[in-house]
Chain A
Amino acid sequence: MSYFLGADVGSVSTNLVLIDADNKVKEALYLRTKGQPMQAIQKGIKMLRTRIGLKAQIMGVGTTGSARQLAATLLGADVIKNEITAHAVAASRLYPQVRTILEIGGQDSKIIILRDGIVVDFAMNTVCAAGTGSFLDQQAARLGLPIGEFASLAVKADNPVRIAGRCSVFAESDMIHKQQLGHSLPDIVAGLCQAMVRNYLNNIGKNKRILGPILFQGGVAANPGIHRAFENELGQEITIPEHFSVMGALGAAYLAQEKVGLTAKPTHFRGLEMAESSFQAGSFDCSGCANNCEIIRIKQNEEILAQWGDRCGKWSGNIGKEEDNKAAGHK
């Protein structure tokens, strides 16, 4: 069998998706990144390998997410895309009629507006992470609940309390205050969901014409409380796609398929054995000029796979064996 691989490596989760020749999702993995993206990617590949067997062939690889460059280096990607495009591609492939995508992930939230299958506008949270998955995670941990249980609590609420959702720090103190007053936990959690949705629509959704059909995706779509709050606030039905938590990775897989199909070149994939390779990441400050760029360097054994972070291109254009770099005058 042959597949296309999509990888979305974000702050909270590392997602891998395999699609087969008929564009069907064969495997979808949702793993926690836990601050170690390289290990998470290798672990994911290992898991995929046990499921599909070593004989399976990967025809193309796409990466996205905040660690897309790192993931691309490790895997040998054919296409590297930003999260917004990846999410939009996945959604419009599965639901060609979609006109609005609400996406809430670990540390970012975005809204994507499409018309006739084309992205016409988007927005992403800028200076504030209030109302993203990390905050929900943090609150669940504070209450000592697994995130899944925390999410389903909101549905049991009779009378959601009003929580200040403008800022996550104030939201937390407001929640504690409401607890101390004696409100029930489901009411508080439901109130938090409503506050998050209000905050999202005021910040990200500002000046955007939110028209149906609407899709809600990203890890937070697993939370029925948020889903319901969105439906109430927007006054229409909101669809959650089957693979809501891995839509970015799915988009990356579609993009890889597009790219490989267009150029008809063989994939750059390093092979399923990459799970066993040892990669080293390091960084150093370049002292070549006043910019003092921080350079990231990824090595496999003694070979430099990639370098980035420079503004001038002196390092990123120079990969290969370390000796070669020395010969070229770099230390």
Chain B
Amino acid sequence: MKVTFPHMGNVWIIIKTLFEMLNVEVIVPPLTSKKTLDLGTKISPESACLPFKINLGNYIEAAQEGADTIAITGGIGPCRFGYYGELQRQILKDAGYSYEAVILEPPDGSIPGLLKRIRYLAGNHNSWGRIMKTIYFAYQKSVAIDRVEDLIHAARPRLENKPATELLYQKALASLVSVTSYRGLEEVVRSVQQEIAERQAVQNYQSGSGSDPLRIGIVGEIYTILDPFSSADIEKQLGFLGAEVDRSIYLSGWVGKHVFQGLAKGYRSMKSYPRLAKPYLGHFVGGHGQETVGSAVKFAQKGYDGIIQILPLTCMPEIVAAGILPRIQEACNIPVMTLTVDEHTGNAGIQTRLEAFVDLLERSNCLRKKVPKELVSLERMC
């Protein structure tokens, strides 16, 4: 059995760790590229969402490297994603790829069914204790990745040497891939933090501390906000344009909520979102529609300069949220922009909108003659 899984931003690092530590052979699909998307689009229904198409592309590319089993999460009614695993298996079969799909969801809410699937993937050589321990370590790794991402979000607009910041990020991710101890995780995060602090110190010494960057909250559908390929690298682009970003969903928050059923709260908990969303959207609408609304309220309350929502075309929960966001925009007096992405999305179009949005925030800030805030210290993050 050679297991593969779909890409979603940095998730592959965690899943790879998980399987490798359980001695299960795992094939990481080649990183998502234009070619991946082309392959996936060719065999996907036209109106399926962007993540669906990228998933299929990942599976095809993984099959070319010998993968024969797909591990994917499912769920009861999150959105159409709940049936993607089975649908994708059938489409792949018709296209000539005979994959086995192991869908990690409790069917009819039955936990034994889920455990049986986990046992199947992990094989008989692993004890339950070992499996649980490995899952918990993988979860801690996702927390470490989130902490690194957060540090980079803060560093991008502040450090002048942009390519060096990206290099630092890539290096940190590369070392996180192979770390197998809790101490190793802590060391990677600390070294990134230290490196950024040093660079900032040198820069402040040379040219004085700069002005405070704009702060933009990114909300929306989980896949497109976690996956830089599908959002045209929006976090990096905004960082280069001089804005610090934060997003509504971090990987560990999602894992904490769904895998540990809220027992582990993750680096950024999503717990407050339903409560904050309540005045605008009082109930679950599938996917993360309610979280999008709630997190938009949170960003507005925390004094962010603007909010950007990203959704894949035809995503129903986010369409509901997009209809509600203008009310938050009005009530909280915060600019909100919605970006819809699909396989036709051109980077130039997104770039133009991001530039215009940052201009909007900058010009209005500077005309309002806002008193400059204290320079945010990077240490507060950890």
Contact = CB atoms under 8 A, between A and B. Distances in A.
A313 interface: yes
A253 to B, nearest CB: 17
Contacts of A240: none
B355 A126 contact: no
Interface string A311-331: 111000100000000000000
A66 B348 contact: yes
B340 A81 contact: no
Q: How large is the interface on B (under 10, 10 to 19, 20 to 34, 35 or more residues)?
A: 20 to 34
A121 B344 contact: no
Interface string B321-351: 0010010010000010100101010001101
Contacts of A85: 355-356, 359-360, 363
Nearest to B167: A312
Contacts of B360: 85, 119-122
A180 interface: no
Contacts of A300: none
A291 B364 CA distance: 36
Nearest to A125: B349
Contacts of B76: none
Contacts of B359: 81-82, 84-85, 119
A290 B356 CA distance: 30
Interface stretch (B26-34, B150-158, B372-380): B26-34
Q: 3 tightest A-B contacts by CB?
A: A84-B356, A82-B355, A85-B359
A312 B243 CA distance: 18
A256 B340 CA distance: 32
B162 interface: yes
Interface residues of A, number: 23
Nearest to B228: A311
Interface of A: 66, 81-85, 117-122, 124, 126-127, 207, 290-292, 311-313, 317
Contact of A83 (B326, B337, B352): B352
A124 B352 contact: yes
B123 interface: no
B163 A122 contact: no
Contacts of B351: 82
Contacts of B355: 81-82, 85
Interface of B is mostly: helix
Interface of B: 30-31, 33-35, 162-163, 166, 233, 313, 323, 326, 329, 335, 337, 340, 342, 344, 348-349, 351-353, 355-357, 359-360, 363-364, 367
Contacts of B340: 126-127
Contacts of B35: 292
Given A120-B335, A122-B357, A127-B342, 9 more contacts: A66-B352, A82-B351, A82-B352, A82-B356, A83-B356, A122-B356, A127-B340, A207-B326, A313-B162
A317 B162 CA distance: 11
Contacts of A84: 352-353, 356, 359
A242 to B, nearest CB: 24
A119 B353 contact: no
Nearest to A84: B356
Contacts of B329: 121
10 contacts: A84-B356, A85-B355, A118-B367, A120-B364, A121-B335, A290-B33, A292-B33, A292-B34, A313-B163, A313-B166
B67 to A, nearest CB: 18
A131 to B, nearest CB: 17
Contacts of A81: 355, 359
A122 B361 CA distance: 12
B20 to A, nearest CB: 21
Contacts of B34: 292
A312 B163 contact: yes
Given A122-B360, A290-B33, A317 B367 contact: no
Contacts of B356: 82-85, 122, 124
A119 B356 CA distance: 10
B49 to A, nearest CB: 13
Contacts of B364: 118-120
A126 B337 CA distance: 12
A311 B233 contact: yes
Nearest to A121: B335
Nearest to B323: A207
Contacts of A83: 352, 356
Nearest to A316: B163
B163 A126 contact: no
A317 B355 CA distance: 20
A123 to B, nearest CB: 8
Contacts of A311: 233
A290 B349 contact: no
B323 to A, nearest CB: 8
Contact of A317 (B163, B335, B337): B163
Nearest to B233: A311
A317 B166 CA distance: 14
B335 A290 contact: no
B39 to A, nearest CB: 14
B366 to A, nearest CB: 10
